[in-house]
Amino acid sequence: MLIKTKKSSQLSEQQVTDESFYHSRRDVLKQLGYLGAGSLLAQSASANAGALDFFSSKKDVLFQQQALKFQQASESSQILTPEAKVTSHNNFYEFGTGKGDPVENAQGFKVDPWQLKISGEVDKPFTLGYDDLFKSFPLEERIYRLRCVEAWSMVIPWIGFPLAELIKRAAPNSRAKYVAFETLYDPEQMPGQASRRIGGGVKYPYVEGLRIDEAMNPLTLMSVGLYGKTLPAQNGAPIRLVVPWKYGFKSIKSIVGIKLVEHKPPTTWNMLAANEYGFYANVNPDVDHPRWSQASERRLTTGGLLARNRIATLPFNGYGEEVADMYKNMDLRKDY
């Protein structure tokens, strides 16, 4: 699948390190004896592993190891989180608040038939059925970092289409200033909606919102799949939002309603704790959560030691080049 617009922050499949490639490089390094306890950083280093053969003297080998570390440092933001992790470590409170609850409780979730209704301040409202979700707009693959407000993050290969395409088709009118999203409400299928205890006290249905320019930004994706397959239920099947420069809670799952509206819509986490979760929720290492720091994050990569990979959090989750302009007249400490 093609990535249409490629900026520095948009990764292509060739640029990232997938799980099997990671392991094969690891084996090469191991054979060469470079995988001692002190050289963990070199584990994922380098398409140039073969080039190590050319370094004969001890000094040159050390130099090369140093170079590999640099390469690892710049590559660490690009290692794909393994599929098994992406689909088993989830936040989807409709299916329970534990990270392992959604994969367990969402297995029987019925997504076909589905109805996604686009309405509100538009000239051409429409509804998409299950099959329409996959064939109405050209699908593309986007590899994005997902930064949860809880300070962990993943790198996920999504499949989807720009939200802008869907909105354009609805022909918004001049009153359309915000976009309001709503998750399915079905307590019979979603145990978290039937029980305050299981659902963490959240008011359902889960709702989210974006300003219209944020919704129209080319990075904003409607996702129908990941790792080359349709979305697993626990990741928000059959269709969810992905806004890579914002905290993960903005990326609302299992959407049934998209409404263009004139006024800023209510959003679930903001309603629950306005002092902790703002409407904008742009990833920002300089604005701490009242109960923890947002300066760094735990990147979920592979199992083992790297699973505890602590890295610096970047403003706008590293997508500033594409999105910072939208906020140039705002105080992001106030509008967190």
Query: Residues interacting with ligand MTE, by CB under 6 A?
Result: 90-94, 146, 148, 183, 206, 235-236, 248-249, 251-254
DSSP E strand stretches across the chain: 115-120, 126-129, 140-147, 152-162, 178-183, 207-211, 221-226, 229-230, 240-242, 255-261, 296-299, 309-312
Strand-pair partners of 126: 118
Q: How far apart are CA 264 and CA 261, in angstroms?
A: 8
Closest approach of ligand MTE to the CB of residue 94, in Å: 6
Q: Are strands 255-261 and 140-147 parallel, antiparallel or unpaired?
A: unpaired
Q: Is the distance from CB of 209 to CB of 265 less than 8 angstroms?
A: yes
Q: How many CB atoms lie within 10 A of CB 19?
A: 16
Which one, 17 or 251, has the nearer CB to Mo ion? 251
Kindly state whether residue 281 participates in binding Mo ion, applying the rule CB under 5 A. Answer: no
Q: Which is nearer to ligand MTE, 94 or 322 (CB)?
A: 94
For ligand MTE, which is the closer residue by CB, 148 or 283? 148
Among 9, 44, 65, 91, interactor with Mo ion by CB under 5 A: 91
Q: How far is the CB of 290 from ligand MTE (least distance, A)?
A: 17
d(CA 236, CA 75): 28
* Residue 44 or 193 having the CB closest to ligand MTE: 193
CA-closest candidate to residue 92, choices 27, 22, 170, 189: 189
The CA-based diameter of the chain, rounded to the nearest angstrom, is 71
The nearer residue to Mo ion, 130 or 152, going by C-beta atoms, is 152
By a kind-dependent CB cut-off of 5 to 8 A, residue 252 interacts, out of Mo ion, ligand MTE, none, with: ligand MTE
Q: Quick one: 71 or 78, whose CB is closer to ligand MTE?
A: 78
CA Rg value for the chain: 21
**Dihedral class, residue 79 (left if φ above 0, else alpha if ψ from -120 to 50, else beta):** beta
The CB-of-295 to ligand MTE minimum distance in angstroms stands at 18
Residue nearest to ligand MTE (CB): 248
Q: What residues contact 306, with CB distance under 8 A and at least 6 apart?
A: 40, 43, 44
- Asked if 248 interacts with Mo ion (CB under 5 A), we say yes
Report the residue from 139, 148, 207, 281 that binds Mo ion according to the rule CB under 5 A: 148
Decide which of Mo ion, ligand MTE, none touches 43; Cβ closer than 5 to 8 Å per partner kind.
none
Q: What is the distance, to the nearest Å, from the Cα of residue 252 to the centroid of all Cα atoms in its chain?
A: 11
Using rule CB under 5 A, residue 255 touches Mo ion: no
Minimum distance between the CB of residue 68 and ligand MTE, rounded to whole angstroms?
A: 30
Residue 179 pairs in a beta bridge with: 210, 260
* Closest-CA residue to 244 (of 175, 143, 321): 143
Q: Among residues 101, 93, 305, which one has the least CA distance to residue 206? A: 93
| 90 interface partner picked from Mo ion, ligand MTE, none, CB below 5 to 8 A per type | ligand MTE
Minimum CB distance to ligand MTE, residue 56 (Å): 46
Q: In angstroms, give the least distance from the CB of 211 to Mo ion.
A: 20
Minimum Å gap between C-beta 2 and ligand MTE is 23
Q: Which residue, 118 or 148, has its beta carbon nearer to Mo ion?
A: 148
| Among the residue ranges 58-66, 91-99, 191-199, 290-298, the one whose residues contact Mo ion (CB under 5 A) | 91-99
With CB under 5 to 8 Å by kind, the binding choice for 214 among ligand MTE, Mo ion, none is none
Nearer to Mo ion, 99 or 117 (CB): 99
> What single letter denotes the amino acid at residue 303?
G
Closest to 199 in 3D by CA, of 107, 272, 278: 272
Min. distance of Cβ 143 from ligand MTE in angstroms?
Answer: 14
Residues that bind Mo ion (CB under 5 A): 91, 148, 248-249
